Structure 1
């Protein structure tokens, strides 16, 4: 019988092991999808609804709510806007350069905020995607 030693592997080691297979875009997308799923799930729980009740409120199937909450669903911007509108939540998407920002480069960073009542407005700020209830 071969004896195997237990090894502790840190997150940095895991990232190095997968760096040829996982791009920074993959990591960013995974993080954003997880954040969106968590925000939708938190809203459902705050409304004290199960997935079936929540689906009825949004006019979708329970299976769709399950997909949204799986942290794997690849949303469209239009789909997110519809979800946020029905849930009376804000949707913010910001795109900015990756370089460290100083006061000059901050001028080129714009965040678009969509709210059901206010429409679209541009606000200077940093990169983030969040659903706000």
Structure 2
């Protein structure tokens, strides 16, 4: 998809279908957009993506294929650890209550690999 300069813009587990062992297909491509070589798209706040899988820049600044890489990092984390990456994040609406710390539960190798997908700076993905 990215080789053809297309962005999915809503990658999440329910948008990945399995059609055989080790073969998958992307579903729900209605929000996909074509991007010029070396180009970017302008933010469209609230119009694409799913909360929990959105790359930070999607709502705030011009973006490129790295938004899909971010979403894939979240999905890989879920597949590896069997819970969503933000499950243990601080929730400001919970009266200061937080769940257990997240990082100590990681295995170093998988953490380093997956964290490269969700790097805050898009070109680092």
Structure with greater helix share of residues = 1
- TM-score w.r.t. the length of structure 2 is 0.28
- Compare the two structures and name the one with the higher strand fraction: 1
Name which one, 1 or 2, has greater alpha-carbon Rg: 1
